[in-house]
Structures are given as C-alpha cells and as structure tokens.
Amino acid sequence: MAQVISDRRDIEFVLHEQLEAENLSKIHEDFADFNKKTIDLVISEARNFAVKELLPSSKEGDEQGCTLENGKVTTPESFKRLFDLFNEGEWLAPTESPEWGGQGMPKTVASAAAEYFNGANYPFMMYPGLTQGAGHLVEHFGTQEQKDIYLKNMYTGKWTGTMLLTEPGAGSDVGALTTKAVPNGDGTYTITGEKIFISGGEHDLTENIIHPVLARIEGAPEGTKGISLFLVPKFRVNEDGTPGEFNDVICTGIEHKMGIHGNSTCSLSLGSKDNCIGTLLGEENKGMKAMFLMMNSARLLVGFQGFACATTAYMYALDYARNRIQGKDLLEFMNPDAKSVSIFRHP
C-alpha cells in the first residue's frame, strides 16, 4: 500500500540518524525504557492508528461537519468512536507524567507520532490537542485541589479542555477583552462575557468540557496587565468528582471553516443567566502570562497542522505521479513504439 501520510523512511531517518532519539534512554532516567525497539513500537502503533482509523474519517468528518441545535453541538459520527480509541491508546498526554495519566515519553518520540496523527486528521486532533494544552495550565498554575479535580480527567480524555481568549472586540488586541469576573466571597468568581472562535468550545465527545477563560476582575487595570485566568467547567464538579449542575456556558453559534468542519469553532456566552462560576487559575492579573504557556502548545499544534498537512499533500501527489500513466519517457520520445510511462518517470 502506498504511504499516504508521512514517509516512513523520513521519520526513521530523523528519529534515529539525525536526532539519535534512543540516546535519550541513556542520559535521562525517566526515559530509560525508550530504547530503539520501544521507540519503533510506539511509532508503528501511531502509524497504524493514523492510517487505519484517523485517515478514513477525515473526509467524512469534513463533509458531515459539526451541527448546532439548541446549544448542543454534534460532531461527525465517526469522531466519538475515534476519540474513545484515541484515549484507549493513551495518546492524549504522551509526554505528561504517568502520575496524572500521561505516558511520560520523550517529546521527540511523541512529535513523530503527532506527525502521523495530524497528517491523517487534524480537525479531529484539535480536540485532544487543546485538551493537552489546557491540562498544562492546570498542571503548572493549579492548586492541588484544582489538579485533583481536573488534571487526570483531562489527560486521560475523560473531559476535554479549550482556551477562551478571543472576543468580538478582542482578537489580535486581546488586552481589550471585556469578560468580567466578580468575586463571590467564597474563593469563586461569577463570570460574564462573550467569547468567539473557541475551538472545541462545545461538542458531544465527553461528559464535561473545561474552559480556561481570560477575564478581568472588577476594578483591575485596563489592558493585558489587568487580565486573570479562570477555570470554568461546562458542568460544575460534584464532591464525588462527577459532573453536576450546568454552569451557564451556552454555545450560540459555530463557524464553518474550509477543511476544519469536523472541529467545532464556537461562540460561547458565559453567564447569560448570571450563573457561571469559575475559580482563579494562578495569580490575579497574571492571566495573560499564564495563558502563554498554552499559547505556546497551541502554536506548536498549528505548526504541526501545517507541516503534517503539507507532507500528506506531497505523499498524495507522489502516489498520483507514480500511478498516472501518461506520455513517453523523454529518452524514448522519438520512438513511435514506446509505451506510455508514469508521470513519475519523466525526467
């Protein structure tokens, strides 16, 4: 079968000859198990999953797209099963600590796997990708209680995560945001505001969605200096850890973007019934700086999307050129009996 996502030989060359990835097992005790055999096994599993499961649902996912009805987003039919399989394979948090449900593998190895995944179906990959990034925020800035409530559920894909920065009047100029946070006196805040373009902001893949939200505490300075970060779940979490009362986060619209119809890009209304509660993540007025931890993951993810998409396009073109029989080999151009050859063989 033609290689349809990434060239296997290229990936093996980069991992083993250029980066000498197995040396990580010798210099870092956390990676002691990641010798060449293990790395090859991980990459082979990733390739199989990408080719057999992710790739076939990519076209169908884009054609079906997401739909919005009464505030509920339905994702493409195949995505639910894919998301469960993805989580069974423990692919959502490959580099994160096993203590929180991660696999603890080197980033180098996880990146090679991510090239296959994103090349096969990047609209799907945005759901786990954003979740991993949101999990990083909880891991780095969360209190022990916040970590205990959210982190394992996110890194194992039981709940997904998002990032809520953009507003109708605050895109590039995110410091202009107007989402408000009012202290309730019990350590929580009532959040009110409108967010737009939120990837995975609402969907039917998981029982809860955890939104890291940029908002301004009443009386805080204008601009980016007065922005704080809050954790706002779609459903508040009960004492026993299960999702409870609806937290007044309503999806009011979804965008239609060429090639990414399978990923829901949502407009979200927070606290339209004055009943949206969040907890501070990190320090007051330090939200912008904290959010950059996730922005950095998001930038890597977008980079991977572009790179993996271009690689897949190249592999398709190569396969086409190999199989399309047309025209004569230039060396045989004057020979009237010469057979047509594949485009690939034209010098």
Ligand X SMILES: Cc1cc2nc3c(=O)[nH]c(=O)nc-3n(C[C@H](O)[C@H](O)[C@H](O)COP(=O)(O)OP(=O)(O)OC[C@H]3O[C@@H](n4cnc5c(N)ncnc54)[C@H](O)[C@@H]3O)c2cc1C
Q: What are the residues binding ligand X (CB under 6 A)?
A: 162-166, 171-172, 197-199, 257, 260, 265
What is the C-alpha to C-alpha distance for residues 103 and 123, in angstroms, rounded to an integer?
23
- Shortest gap between Cβ of 303 and ligand X (angstroms)? 14
User: In angstroms, rounded to a whole number, what is the distance separating the alpha carbons of residues 335 and 340?
Assistant: 11
Q: How far is the CB of 162 from ligand X (least distance, A)?
A: 6
The residues, any chain, with a CB within 8 Å of residue 199's CB and separated by 6 or more, are: 126, 130, 162, 163, 263, 264, 265, 266
Number of H helices and number of E strands within the chain? 9, 14
Q: Nearer Cβ to ligand X, position 112 or 291? A: 291
Q: Which is nearer to ligand X, 50 or 196 (CB)?
A: 196
Please, what is the minimum distance in Å from the beta carbon of residue 276 to ligand X? 17
* Closest CB 198 distance from ligand X, rounded Å: 5
Between 78 and 166, name the residue whose CB sits nearer to ligand X. 166
Residue 209 CB, shortest distance to ligand X, in Å, is 12
Tokens of 178: 């107007």
Find the residue with minimal CB distance to ligand X.
171
Going through the chain in order, the beta strands assigned E by DSSP cover 67-69, 72-74, 160-161, 180-183, 188-199, 209-217, 227-233, 235-237, 243-246, 249-254, 265-270, 277-280, 325-328, 340-342
Pull the structure tokens for residue 335: 């020979």
* Residue number with CB closer to ligand X (163 or 270): 163
Is the CB of residue 150 less than 8 Å from the CB of residue 138?
yes
**Nearer Cβ to ligand X, position 15 or 213?**
213
For ligand X, which is the closer residue by CB, 21 or 214? 214
Question: At closest approach, how far in Å is the CB of 165 from ligand X?
Answer: 3
Nearer Cβ to ligand X, position 16 or 286?
Answer: 286
Q: Is 106 exposed, middle or buried (0-12, 13-18, 19+ CB in 10 A)?
A: buried
Q: Round to whole Å and give the CA distance between 83 and 80.
A: 5
Q: Which residues pair with residue 188 across a beta bridge?
A: 279
Instruction: Report the nearest approach of ligand X to the CB of residue 281 (Å).
Output: 15
